Amino acid sequence: MLSEDQFKFITCEPVLKETLFLTNNNPAVVNAISGMMDENLLEIESALSLFKKEVFQLMQKYHDQNTSLADISLLALYNNTDEASLLTTDSDFLVYRDLQGKPLNLISPYKT
């Protein structure tokens, strides 16, 4: 259990796949991910298993954005996590909306 001053990152396998691909499986990145998982700072969830219907609905909703499964999986996880913030360097998340049609609560270099 995490104390109030701790937090946990939640992500999904498509995001890890994309991250490792973009970093050419850099050993430092692999070690960082592994270490975060070992320290229970990073939790891997399966958005497709947990929110299959929502994932495919979001894929259809954002089909014109040329979105990725990684983005849509994170959006589904965000929509199903209380008081979520989404850490990203991907400007595509400025386009996506939560279930109420509001901009996402982003931690990002981009202005919302």
- Check residue 48 and give its pLDDT: 95
pLDDT in tens, 71-111: 999 999 999 998 889 999 999 999 999 999 999 999 999 87
For residue 3, pLDDT beyond 70: no
| CB contact set of 29 (below 8 Å; sequence gap of 6+) | 19, 20, 23
User: What confidence score (pLDDT) does residue 24 get?
Assistant: 98
State residue 2's pLDDT score: 46
Domain boundaries, the chain: 9-107
Can you tell me whether residue 11 is helix, strand or coil?
strand
pLDDT score recorded for residue 1 = 40
Is residue 79 left, alpha or beta, with left meaning phi > 0 and alpha meaning psi from -120 to 50? Answer: alpha
- Mean pLDDT of all residues in 4-25: 90
> Which residues make beta-bridge pairs with 10?
43
The string of pLDDT tens digits covering residues 45-74 is 999 999 999 999 999 999 999 899 999 999
The per-residue DSSP string of 69-81 comes to HHHHHHHHHHHTS
104 contacts 97 by C-beta, under 8 angstroms: yes
